[in-house]
Structure 1
C-alpha cells in the first residue's frame, strides 16, 4: 500500500491527465489495476499516486480563511507525510532558491533555507509545550527578519561616533565658511558635461531676497567655479566669492 506525490514529468504517467487544465478545486484521475494517478488543483497542480484510495472521495476542510473540499487521498498524505516530504514542502515556500553557476552559492542558500525551516519547527515545538498556537512559516520569517533588523538599528542608534559628531547646524555652517582656507576651483565634470555650470549661490540668494523683482525678471547668474571646501558654486569675476567667505550677511549689498 502506497500513497505519495509524483512529479508530472515522470515516465509512465498518462499524458492526457498531465495535459489537463484544471480550475482551483477541480480534479481528474486515471486508474490502472489498483494504481490511481490523481491530479488536483489547489494553489498549484498536485499530482499523486495511491493504491489504497478512492479518487472520487472528498472531505471538507475548515481553515481560518475558508471552507474547502479536498480529496481524501490528499488529506491522508498531508496528515501522515514523513519528515523528508514535509521538509520539501516547507522548502518550496521559502523563496531563496536562485539559479547560479556557482555551486557554493546553491549549497549556501540550501543550507540557509534548511536552518530557517529547522528553527521554525523548533519554535513551534516550544509554543506547543506552552499550549500556544503554532506559527505559520511566513509569520515566523517576518518576525525573525524584524527582530534581526531591530537589533542592528538599535546598535546603530547607540553608536558613540554619531552621538559625539552630530550634523552641523546652520549657524555652525555659517561660521565654517568665514574661517579656514577657501580657494576657487573649476566645477568637476559630470557624466553629461565636461565643463558644467551652476547658479551662483550669492547671486541666487540676493535675487530671491529682492522683493521689488518678480520671478521672471530675476537674473540667474551661472558660474563654472566653486569653493572646493564649502562645495558651493560662486562667481569669481565679481565679489561673490569674497563676500561669501568674509561677511556673515552676504545677501545685503
Structure 2
C-alpha cells in the first residue's frame, strides 16, 4: 500500500516535469537528475508497477473491463462528495490516443483530433459529476434515440431535482427537452418549439436559434469582459455563463496531465481519471475553505503527502538520506537497528535546523557539520547520512 502511494505520487509529479522517457526521471546524469524519484524507488521498480497497473473485472466482455471498477467507484465518490448548484452542463471531451482501437474517435474541433471520447456532466464551474466513455455503437433504450439515451443515463442521479441542463445542438432535440421537463429538469439550447418549449431567433453575426424550457424569451442588458454593455436574449446570456463546465475542467487538467504515450488505452484512461479526481478534490477544497491556494500548490501538497517528502528537507541530501535508511535498516551484530533522525535543537534556539560536527568526519581530520544523528545509539552521535552513518557503526561494531 505504501509503495502504491509513492507510485501515484511520482505519477502526479512527473506530469509537472518534461522528460523524454521514464528512465530519465530516475537518471543520475547531471542533465536529468531529479532527487525525488530515485529517493522513492528504482526506475526498474516503477516500470514494473506501471507495466502491471490495471483494475480488471473478471469474466467480462466489456472493452473497458480493465478500468470499469475504478471508473464506477470514482463516479460514486464524485457524486457523494459534492452537491451541485442549479446549473449543469453536458459536453464531450477527447483524450489523445493514436493507437489501434476500434472505438477511437476523430473530432475535427478538438486539439487532439484523434482519441478516446468522454461524455461528461459537469457543474457550471467545472466539477465533473458523471463520465461515460464512448466505446462504439450500443443498443438504444426503448422509444429513445442514441443521444437521448446517453443524456438520460448521465442525468440519472440528477433528475427530479430542478436542475437546469445546458447542452449544445448536438445533444438537444424537442423530444429530449420534453422528457427532461417531465423530470423537473429544464434544458436550454439551439433548435425548435412546442407547447412549454420556447424557440427564439437572435441576429448576432449570424442567426442564432435557441430552444429553452426555462425562460420566456426576452432581451436583457449584459456586459462583456471589457465592460461594454449589449442587449442579448436571456437564454443566450445564461447559456454563455453556464455551458463552459467541461471546457473549464479540460483546461485545468491539461496544464499538468498524467497520461503519457502508450499503446495500452486503458492506462491512459486510468491516469486521465486520476487527473479528474485531483481536479475535483481541488474544486471542493477551494469552495469549502475559500483558500487562495493555486492548483499547482495543491498538487504538490498531495504529492508530498503520498511520497512522504518533507517540504523542509533539502533536495541535496534527500537521496543520501534514503540510502542511509536502506543500509541501516538491516539488523547489525548486536541485534539493534539504527536510523538517522534530525538533531533536536536546544531550547530557545531560533533556527529550525541545528548542526553538530560529524563524528566520523572528525576522526578523519575533516571539519564537517551535519543536522542528523543516530536515533537508537545511547550517545546519539552526529553523523552525515551517507557514507559516515554506515562507516561509523561498522567500525565501532554497534
With the shorter chain as reference, the TM-score category is 0.3 to 0.5
Q: Which has the higher contact order (CA 8 A, sep 6+)?
A: 2
TM value normalised by structure 1: 0.34
| TM-score, reference length from structure 2 | 0.24
- Pair member with larger Rg: 1
